[in-house]
Structure 1
Amino acid sequence: MAQSDDTVIAWSCHQVAQWLQEEGFGQYVELLCTQHRLDGLSLLALTEADLRGPPLALTVLGDIKRLSIAIHRLQRRNRTQLEELGLQTGDAVDTGHALGPAGVEWGCDGADRRGCGGGDRLCNGNGLRLRSRERSGCAPGAAACHTHSNGRCRQQLAGRLDPEVWKTVLSSIYVFLVFGFTSVVMVFVHERVPDMRTYPPLPDIFLDSVPRIPWAFAMAEACGLILCYMFSLILLLHKHRSILLRRLCSLMGTVFLLRCCTMFVTSLSVPGHHLKCASKTYGDTWGKIQRALAIWSGFGMTLTGVQTCGDYMFSGHTVVITMLNFFVTEYTPRNWNMIHTISWVLNLFGIFFILAAHEHYSIDVFIAFYITTRLFLYYHTLANTRAYQHSRRARIWFPMFSFFECNVNGPVPNQYNWPFNKPAFMKTLIG
């Protein structure tokens, strides 16, 4: 073969032409490679409907079938690389179906084996089946079908991942305001801290069993800072950085908004006598505002000199560390095992250090980890499953999700590029 199957995605038009010759389809080299400039990636995205319909319109049924099966073999061997790019493949031999980009399902014989007229599928005479999208203010979905007089359908391939920077700006404003509101709530919570003489620390299995490590909380914040730097580098180099930042801001803001509710409605007793926390009144409104601004500007971190009391249920440090870990592991390729291992080690050690410092009860950390991970997984499950993304239930319960994700078609592929324009002399040297 012209090249190893593992490098099909990187094939040039010339290498695709060699593969066609070796597979016995030399008569189509001119059509596919010269006229339509088919390279390795577009070859793997090719479907039987593409071969049948315009602009290719192959007319020999046997050649269509044999070429389709040969392409399916390549797709199966390169399944991992295709999934990284947001493309899905099916097994043509075993199931008789192939999945093209953006969740468009094709029948290998051009017929819809399950019939047309279902509520969640649109089909045409060519057997093209598309997941229907409820009509909303968003742009068209993963693919659009236009039926012509000859009964054929022209597919508009999706894979469109709009940056929509203005939505990212809105999400940044949202999390900025939520952090400010959280700081205000922390001021009121500090005024309601239970008296330690009346309400001693609650029994806790971990805190009662592990002696306190004075420097542990600073180490927990150091773990969070390292994770923050890791994600910032990934965000800078990721091709879809606007989507990543929008998702981080929306998720982080939502979790901290929930945290405002839980720490305000119930005031837990101080976890340890070493904290020396007591109810503190900040006087007039201006005093409260100054204290809230101090917490806000210092990000609630002891490394920046911020000391807080009463904000125990649930742990904000655990939320930040866990959320950053999940974003690092989600938006890096699967084979970056070292990065994933470091990220998880920092996450788990950060949680341990929070508990070892006796700054939070064990339940504070457990609930923070659970809520953060569940919300992250629910959000990405909905975002990657187009069938639920614009349903009425999603719009009612997750209105912000529907707004932010309506033009993101499926999973975000982990592709990277340099975010800055090349200097003029570099362009001259390269060009």
Structure 2
Amino acid sequence: MELPNDITIWTCSQVEIWLKNVGFEKFVELVCNEHEVDGNSLLTLTENDLRSPPLQLRKLGDIKKLGACLKELRVKHAATLREKACLQRFDNYDPLSVNSSTYMRRRVYRHTNGSAKISQSLYSDESCMSDSTDIDDQDISHSSGRVRVFNPEYGKTLISFLYNLLAMFVTSYTMVVVHDRVPDKQKHPPLPDIFLDNVPLIPYAFKLSELCGLILMSMWFCILFFHKHRFILIRRMYSISSSVFLLRCITMFVTSLSVPGDHLQCQAAHYRTTEQRIKRALEIFAGGGMSLTGVHTCGDYMFSGHTIVLTLVNHLITEYTPARWYSLHIASWVFNLFGAFFILAAHEHYSIDIVIAFYITSRVFLYYHMLANTRSYQHSKRIRIWFPLFSYFECNVPGKVPNEYEWPLSVQKIRNLFVKIAKHSKNTKVSLN
């Protein structure tokens, strides 16, 4: 006898059929006749229920096997779970550590390849309410018995991109300003530096450093392309890099260090008008501040922008790839450290510039991820006040992002995209009429 697709309408007789189908006919009397378990009750049964009175199964093998069948049944019929109460009865379900002032309502939409699609309404503060995403773009991740939603939140990703554009332009403009104020080499010779004073100049080393950076960026973009939660990673990359570069703007503006090497052709560039400065800033912005693209700047020493990029990308690669990918992690660290060494070998920065850039970038990265992964910022009003963008970007991310990969251009996603476009076009025509 074929059982109905909607498990919530199963009767005790149909539960009896299911028990026989999965090989537990011996429990029919106990479960169906004695305790009258129907479809709704069956969905909420857990291993703990099987162990405890009144069922109190005695054999561990039976408990584990029947518990596994019940879990498989819940996943198979996930589309019929309509209310939060059903989801909360999952084994070891963790309600995402949402505090008492937060109301969350979840509705299971469908199940695909072990992940259930849901529609979610989350009301915790205005920042979390401001960015909504279509049902098909939300995933439930089942790991360690937890149900976790990772919403791509395209609107927030766009805001992080605009934040990054602003930070990069401000950095470029600041580099133009500090170039105007670069100290005269005749009056202010290079400062004593333990590394620069003992390591001979390698003229082509700076380009090798940028080559290391490009290799790391290529590795990172490949990971980003296939990572299932790429939009969360993009937001974090933009957020961290933008914040560190804005800090760099302050440090290189307030203190002008002397040119670190006599070989550098650096002298004050007098841009008399704001228009000239903006034009030069756009040139630096377009060239990415790299000598490989023909950009040459002076005075932006405290602290090294190249080291920021090398260190940040290295940490992103090691964070968002499995721990067992030792070769990739070793290669990433090698490019990071050699890139920093080549900057010093080219005598383009003082040693302190490299040390501070590495320390600040790595600490900001680690602190950001510690707060995001533990969600401890939810319990600190101070963090939400001092780091509003962080709270805004991370308020809907339920902890540590799992390293899961997928082909980003699946047939289903392309079909969904065309459906959305068709619906949008239809709605536009209706509104115009």
TM-score by length of 2: 0.67
Residue in 1 that maps onto 2:369: 380
Letter in 2 for 1:183: S
The number of residue pairs the alignment matches comes to 328
Contact 1:390–1:402 under 8 Å retained in 2: no
| Matched residue type, 1:363 | I
Q: What's the offset of the Cα at 1:26?
A: 7.9
Q: Kindly state the Cα deviation for residue 204 of structure 1 after the two structures are TM-superposed.
A: 0.4
Give CA deviations for 1:407-428 in whole Å, capped at 9, x if unaligned.
Answer: 000100000000113399xxxx
1:349 aligns with one of 335, 338, 352: 338
Residues 378-410 of structure 1: per-residue CA shift (max 9 Å, x gap) = 000000112333520111121110000000001
Q: CA deviation at 1:229?
A: 0.6
Contact residue 92 and residue 146 of structure 2 kept, 8 A: no
Q: Distance in 1 between matches of 2:395 and 2:147?
A: 13
Which of 312, 318, 323 matches 1:329?
318
The answer for the alignment partner of 2:247 in structure 1 is 258
Query: Could you tell me which amino acid in structure 2 is paired with residue 194 of structure 1?
Result: P
Structure 2 matches for 1:207-218, cutoff 5 A? 207-218=196-207
Separation (CA, whole Å) in 2 of partners of 1:282 and 1:263: 18
Q: Following TM superposition, by how much is the alpha carbon of 1:138 offset from its aligned partner in structure 2, in angstroms?
A: 5.9
Q: Cα gap change, 1:272/1:388 in structure 2, threshold over 3 Å: closer, same or farther? A: same
CA displacement at 1:50 relative to structure 2? 3.8
Change (3 A) 1:289 1:347: same
Partner of 1:63: 57
> Which residue of structure 2 lines up, in the alignment, with residue 130 of structure 1?
none
Report the equivalent of 1:285: 274
Distance 1:337 1:26 in 2: 50
Pick one of 222, 227, 244 that aligns with 1:233: 222
Query: Partners in 2 of 1:374 and 1:186 — Cα distance?
Result: 24
Task: Write the distance in 1 (CA, Å) between the matches of 2:252 and 2:263.
Answer: 21
1:365 alignment partner in structure 2: 354
Question: Which of 1 and 2 has greater Rg?
Answer: 2
Partner of 1:112: none
Q: 1:99 to 1:323 in 2, by over 3 A?
A: farther
Which amino acid in 2 is paired with 1:198? K
Conserved? CA contact 1:295–1:306, under 8 Å: yes
Q: Quick one: which amino acid aligns to residue 242 of structure 1? A: F
Contact 1:195 1:278 in 2 (8 A): yes
Quick check: 1:205 aligned with 2:191?
no
Is the CA contact (8 Å cut-off) linking 1:102 and 1:409 kept in structure 2?
no
**Residue 260 of structure 2 aligns to which amino acid in structure 1?**
P
Shift of 1:62: 3.9
Any conservation in 1 of the 2:377–2:391 contact (CA below 8 Å)?
no
Partner of 1:311: 300
Structure 1 contact 219–353 (Cα < 8 Å) conserved:
yes
The DSSP-based 3-state class of the residue aligned with 1:222 is helix
How many angstroms does 1:99 deviate by?
6.3
Shift of 1:287: 1.5
1:51–1:64 contact (8 Å) kept in structure 2: no
Partner of 2:137: none
Q: What amino acid maps onto 1:217 in structure 2? A: F
Percent pairwise identity:
53
- By how many angstroms is 1:27 displaced? 4.7
Distance 2:274 2:127 in 1: 43
Indicate how the Cα distance of structure 1 residues 64 and 102 shifts in structure 2: closer, same or farther if over 3 A, else same.
Answer: farther
Q: Which runs of 5+ in 2 are unaligned?
A: 1-18, 33-38, 69-90, 102-121, 130-144, 414-433
Deviations 1:163-209, CA, capped at 9 Å, x for gaps: 00110000000001110011111111000001111110000001101
Q: Secondary structure at the match of 2:411?
A: coil
Q: Quick one: distance in 2 between partners of 1:246 and 1:209?
A: 41
Look up the match of 1:160: 149
Contact 2:51–2:57 (CA under 8 A) maintained in structure 1:
no
Amino acid at match of 2:200: P
Residue type matched to 1:267 in 2? S
Instruction: Specify whether residues 49 and 341 from structure 1 end up closer, same or farther in structure 2 by C-alpha distance, changes over 3 A only.
Output: farther
- Over aligned residues, Cα RMSD in angstroms? 3.9
Question: In the TM superposition, what is the alpha-carbon distance from 1:52 to its structure 2 partner?
Answer: 4.9
Unaligned runs of 5+ in 1: 1-16, 39-45, 75-97, 105-117, 121-132, 141-155, 425-431
SS in 2 for 1:160: strand
Matched, 1:300 2:283: no
Q: Distance in 2 between matches of 1:305 and 1:344?
A: 27
CA pair 313-406 structure 1, distance change in 2 beyond 3 A: same
* Structure 1 pair 210–27 and aligned structure 2 pair: CA distance change class (3 A): farther
Separation of aligned partners in 1, 2:59 and 2:357: 54
Structure 1 counterpart of 2:57, one-letter code: D
Match of 1:422?
A: 411
Residues 206, 49 of structure 1: CA spacing in aligned structure 2 closer, same or farther, 3 A cutoff? Answer: farther
